[in-house]
């Protein structure tokens, strides 16, 4: 039995906990490395440049979020559809999806890069960036914008590979990017004194090398992905563009809603000064350490749900959802304990500024709520995305990204006069919304209607 067939068999009939952990481990390690090299920017800049540089990278990272949400949305949609096509053994559809993904995402990357090259100054101003870090923030942001093609390309290739059941190679590529980023970060920001812009350049170079390696591998595996890389096949296929857009747009809107709502909230937080920006930025990076686990489980669980439904194995789906829940709960408990007992040590990894460390202690209760949301979200997104329910995905996007985050933040921060803590808590509580919607969807059983073929029992 070939490795690919063995992977497909495990995704549809293997032990749920074992398969979920096996398939998500490379995703987790990939995410962990990506999170580490993103954190390296803040650690190196915080140590060499100080609190101003740390705050600039924090806001510059928010600008980068605006660039990447389209790539993440359509890549995740493509991965789900490829997994479904593999489960249904529709090989011609796999090749069409690959060609459509390439054409769509590379075109979008160029368009979005041009738009941001003309608008990044306005975005930095809209975020209420403190005047003392505007120059640093613009330097970091514009450098990241130039690397958008590599960001989109890596996410696209990784989604294709994961859709085919290969989650190991994306890990190797991000490992290469991480090593390059760490070395160049220290060189550019340290001896060469390039500041936040140097940190961004190190990240872009690492992503470029990672994408090129991934592209070479994909070409070598062209027979396995049923795509021959002929120029005429890089086009939008009518047979797959409708389901790709139908599933991808809600995912993009979901990411966009969350991103814009977070930027909206952060625009208020940024008015509290450089120290508040630094604390919020570090807190987000620490939260992302747990989100790496959440996202890997969500992605792996989504692929398993998609292939289970494609194979008509509906009784397997609740097992996947419940397993995803407890798998994330374990590391979340560890994160919560460390944050509660040693907040100064955690934030001290990024900055030794006494003002930053003092404000960090006040963030601890907020972090507990953030960790709860990170625990509850992945299982529900695995079900919603894996079942291809675009309408429900859109509902989550609007409630989580717009109504909850902005509404709660303004209510607590402005109406109740809690200030920055109100904005922190509003953002944190909104992270629990997907659990309420996804839990109702699971119990309703309506997702079973999306299964293909006979609904065989395990």
Within a domain: 140: yes
Within a domain: 197: yes
Which residues, 6 or more positions from 280, have their beta carbon under 8 angstroms from its beta carbon? 58, 266, 269, 424
Tally of domains in the chain:
1
Per-residue confidence (pLDDT) for residue 8, from 0 to 100? 46
> 226 with 94: CB under 8 angstroms?
yes
Within a domain: 279: yes
Per-residue confidence (pLDDT) for residue 383, from 0 to 100? 86
Cα 127 from Cα 129, distance rounded (Å):
5
Please give the biggest Cα pair distance in the chain: 64
More confident residue, 251 or 155: 155
Within a domain: 74: yes
Closest CA to 209 of 269, 247, 154: 154
> 275 with 355: CB under 8 angstroms?
yes
pLDDT of residue 295 exceeding 80? no
Integer CA distances (angstroms), 291 to 57, 58, 295, 329, 437, in order: 19, 17, 6, 12, 19
2 pLDDT band (50/70/90 cuts)?
very low
pLDDT for 259-291, tens place per residue? 778 788 888 888 888 888 888 888 887 787 777
Within a domain: 100: yes
Give me the mean pLDDT over the 188-207 stretch: 86
Give me the mean pLDDT over the 125-152 stretch: 86
The 10 Å Cβ neighbour count of residue 122 is 9
Closest CA to 40 of 248, 225, 183: 183
Distance linking the first and last C-alpha atoms of the chain: 21
454 pLDDT band (50/70/90 cuts)?
very low
Within a domain: 46: yes
The domain of 260 spans 3-450
Within a domain: 455: no
14 pLDDT band (50/70/90 cuts)?
low
Per-residue confidence (pLDDT) for residue 38, from 0 to 100? 64
Where do we find the tokens 């992905």? Answer: 225
């Amino acid at each position: 039995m070939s490795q690919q067939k063995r992977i497909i068999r495990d995704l549809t009939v293997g032990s749920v906990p074992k398969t979920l952990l096996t398939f998500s481990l490379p995703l987790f390690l990939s995410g962990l490395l990506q999170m580490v090299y993103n954190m390296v920017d803040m650690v190196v800049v915080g140590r060499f440049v100080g609190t101003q540089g740390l705050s600039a990278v924090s806001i510059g990272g928010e600008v980068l979020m605006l660039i990447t949400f389209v790539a993440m949305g359509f890549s995740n949609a493509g991965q789900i559809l490829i997994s479904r096509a593999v489960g249904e053994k529709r090989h011609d559809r796999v090749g069409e999806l690959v060609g459509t993904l390439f054409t769509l995402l590379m075109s979008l990357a160029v368009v979005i890069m041009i738009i941001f090259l003309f608008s990044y100054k306005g975005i930095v101003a809209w975020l209420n960036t403190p005047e003392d870090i505007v120059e640093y923030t613009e330097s970091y942001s514009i450098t990241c914008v130039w690397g958008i093609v590599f960001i989109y390309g890596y996410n696209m290739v990784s989604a294709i590979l994961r859709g085919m059941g290969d989650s190991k190679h994306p890990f190797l590529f991000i490992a290469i990017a991480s090593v390059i980023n760490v070395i160049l970060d220290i060189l550019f920001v340290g001896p060469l004194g390039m500041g936040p812009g140097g940190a961004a350049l190190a990240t872009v170079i690492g992503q470029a090398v990672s994408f090129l390696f991934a592209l070479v591998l994909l070409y070598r595996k062209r027979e396995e992905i049923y795509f021959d890389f002929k120029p005429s096949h890089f086009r939008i296929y009518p047979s797959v563009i409708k389901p790709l857009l139908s599933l991808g747009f809600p995912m993009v809107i979901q990411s966009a809603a969350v991103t814009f709502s977070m930027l909206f909230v952060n625009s208020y937080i940024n008015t509290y000064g450089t120290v508040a920006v630094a604390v919020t930025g570090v807190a987000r990076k620490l939260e992302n350490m747990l989100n790496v686990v959440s996202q890997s489980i969500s992605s792996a669980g989504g692929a398993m749900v998609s292939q289970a439904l494609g194979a008509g194995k509906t009784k397997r789906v609740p097992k996947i959802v419940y397993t995803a829940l407890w798998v994330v709960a374990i590391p979340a408990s560890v994160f919560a304990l460390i944050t509660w007992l040693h907040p100064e040590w955690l934030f001290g990894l990024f900055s030794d500024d006494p003002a930053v460390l003092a404000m960090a202690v006040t963030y601890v209760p907020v972090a507990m709520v953030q960790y709860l949301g990170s625990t509850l979200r992945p299982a529900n997104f695995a079900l919603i995305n894996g079942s291809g329910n675009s309408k429900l995905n859109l509902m989550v996007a609007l409630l989580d990204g717009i109504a909850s985050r902005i509404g709660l933040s303004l209510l607590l921060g402005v109406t109740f006069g809690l200030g920055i803590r109100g904005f922190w808590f509003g953002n944190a509580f909104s992270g629990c919304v997907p659990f309420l919607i996804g839990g109702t969807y699971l119990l309703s059983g309506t997702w079973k209607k999306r299964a293909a073929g006979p609904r065989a029992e395990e």
